[in-house]
A and B are shown apart, each in its own frame.
Chain A
Amino acid sequence: MKKIYGSASEALDGILFDGMKIAAGGFGLCGIPELLLAAIRDAGTKELTFASNNAGVDDFGIGILLQTRQVKKMISSYVGENAEFMRQYLSGELELEFTPQGTLAERMRSAGCGIPGFYTRTGVGTVIAEGKEEKVFNGETYILEEGIYADLSIVKAWKADESGNLVFRKTARNFNPPAAMCGKVCVVEVEEIVPTGSLDPDSIHLPGVYVHRIIQGDHEKRIEQRTTRAA
């Protein structure tokens, strides 16, 4: 089966629907599926729930879908650096489910592994634990967190081969593998598609079994905080 598509819009054709839940990779603006997000904006799909560590900035990342009011709910650990997000949240237009960063990653990973819930110490005794089942293991209290099952995963990798095996680059890997694993369909954008057989099988970061559709494109890869030292 051919996994490679000509554009982000083609790769999303027939998948998008109003009210769907989307898991997106990326940390801040690093390793975000910027081309697929733009294509979702162009498609005009509404009432979206996004599981994503962050919400981008006002004019990049998920921020572009906030501008067009396509997002109903965010499941995130940190949403600073986005004025439009705050405006919509404080006015009640946007729902927000704060989830600790590691719990968010595990909620994605576990769902992708067929594990619908797991116990963690993270958040015990805080507002995060309210309404959640508690259980004591070896004298320590844990809370039950549930997996995130998404309708669609959108992720960004560095390279893919034609069979969908993925390689990420440096800290741009971040949430991309767990986000890729938890969706019914996973669409990936990469900087380069290489022939099957040209990636070292021992160096594949995410096997193609998780990947359904791939596009190659030019990425802006915006830097959020450019920090340098004296030469």
Chain B
Amino acid sequence: MWDRNQMAARAAMELEDGTYVNLGIGIPTLVPNFIPEGVTVTLQSENGMLGMGPFPIAGEEDADLINAGKQTITEVAETAYFDSATSFGMIRGGKIAMAILGAMEVAQNGDLANWMIPGKLVKGMGGAMDLVAGVGRVVVVMDHTNKHGVSKLIPACTLPLTGKGVVDRVITNLGVLDVVEGGLKIVELAEGVTEDELRSATEATIVD
């Protein structure tokens, strides 16, 4: 079974050299720690920045320089800034190759739910709906089951959708699955996980 860092490391293997990528909050923020040698990607922050650097050292925080999670960050040599309309223009326009993001539920047809639990505190979708509708490829990184042990990979989402048929690949603590015609296809098993274990933890249809 993979831990958070191993899931992030596996997600980093999805990155293609020379592309522009958007990372969501949670485990995806660990992905830059594992970018493979020889691969250079430019990170987009949807509040208006390409070329996102690491957190600043203490004392060098700048109130005018934050990421989409409102954390203080730094710029790098190729950094460019722009307004929110331009930022989502490049997202909607398909210029951002991939988004790696977390999820509450993924359905076997690629439906994604990650913004709202009815009856609970609703904070909003932020830029998630725009990202999943616009980027070239959507990779979800999440635990395979919720804290009650219930599968998060299901036949149909029960929560309000963020996007319909938008997910391409899911990386969980148990392995890697692709959304294909008719269901999910196992691409890879995490270390120490058997195919039977992954199948029994998955409510969604798995196709061969």
Contact = CB atoms under 8 A, between A and B. Distances in A.
Contact of B81 (A100, A123, A171, A175): A171
Nearest to B52: A171
Contacts of A121: 92, 133-134
B75 interface: yes
Classify the secondary structure of B's interface with A.
Answer: loop
A31 interface: yes
A101 B71 contact: no
B153 interface: no
Interface string A122-154: 111111100000000000000000000000000
Instruction: Decide if the interface of chain A is mainly helix, strand, loop or mixed.
Output: loop
Interface of A: 27-31, 53, 76-80, 86, 98, 100-106, 108-109, 120-128, 158, 168-178, 205, 221-231
B65 A171 contact: yes
Interface stretch (B3-11, B124-132, B195-203): B124-132
Given A101-B130, A102-B130, A53 B164 contact: no
Nearest to A206: B83
17 contacts: A27-B48, A98-B124, A100-B126, A100-B129, A101-B88, A102-B87, A102-B89, A103-B130, A105-B88, A106-B89, A122-B130, A124-B133, A124-B164, A125-B164, A126-B129, A127-B161, A229-B54
A213 B85 CA distance: 23
Interface of B: 45-49, 54-58, 60-67, 69-73, 75, 81-85, 87-89, 91-92, 111, 121-130, 133-134, 160-165
B181 to A, nearest CB: 17
Contacts of B49: 170-171
A125 B129 CA distance: 11
B129 A31 contact: no
Contacts of A172: 63-64
Give 7 nearest A-B pairs by CB, closest first: A102-B88, A125-B164, A102-B130, A80-B123, A78-B124, A221-B63, A101-B127
